[in-house]
Amino acid sequence: MRVKRGRTSERERPSSQDRDIWTILSDLRKKVSNSAQRDSSSSSEEDRGTAKQRGSSSPRERRETRKQEEVEKEQVRREQLKRLHRAQVIQRQLEEVEEKQRALEESGVALEKLLRGETVKVDRSQDDTQLLQTWFRLVLEKNKLVRYESELMIFAQELELEDTQSQLQQKLRRRIAVENSRKSSWELAEEQQIFSEMMRVVEKRDALVSLLEEQRLKERAEDQDLESLVLTKGYQLHWT
């Protein structure tokens, strides 16, 4: 029994997960680096979309509206930078987890060979019982790393959804600024579509929160099962 194989086989898909976090990072970097260009194009869109509303406004009101829009754009950019930073932190943590998993795998393989008698014990003071206790600790540590990796991927997915929701909120805010009486039927339908899409994103974020909680409950049950197994074998294993 290798540590890598234990109860974690369903999680052994690092390549697809790496692509996920790299995709999220790439998207966030593009959004931040192209913010100026996007602001320019969105400004033109806002000018066209809110021209009806501003037509009857005084010069002072238009200046105040423009100032408020610039403040909102800067706030959006700061939020994007924060999300980018969080994504970079998640990436570093995933890389650290991968390194620790490799080290545990090497230790587990070496320990299994000792238990099977395939290699000679360097430390003859350790009997099979002590080696098995060490093996169980490696299994526990491996499980912890896999669970942590899973949580990090959920955090990355939630971060991506948060960014999507922020974009939809910006679009919806610009359209709501125009009175319904000044909108065409097509514009009203598009506004409703944006709102519906934003609600779907909110539901997905809520589902991720529920998934994380269910996962943690399952993990606690698995820990209790492993502890019972260890105790029935007469070993002493202390959880940290």
Q: What is the mean pLDDT of residues 216-222?
A: 85
Question: Is 5 part of any domain?
Answer: no
Question: Is 237 part of any domain?
Answer: no
pLDDT band at 124 (very low <50, low <70, confident <90, very high): low
pLDDT for 16 equals: 46
Cα(113)–Cα(119) distance, rounded to whole angstroms? Answer: 6
Question: Is 1 part of any domain?
Answer: no
Question: Number of folded domains in the chain?
Answer: 1
Question: Is 238 part of any domain?
Answer: no
Q: What is the mean pLDDT of residues 33-39?
A: 60
Cα(105)–Cα(19) distance, rounded to whole angstroms? Answer: 23
Residue 170, domain extent: 11-232
Least confident of 9-13, 27-31, 83-87, 100-104: 9-13
Question: Is 17 part of any domain?
Answer: yes
Question: Is 182 part of any domain?
Answer: yes
Question: Is 166 part of any domain?
Answer: yes
Q: What is the mean pLDDT of residues 204-225?
A: 88
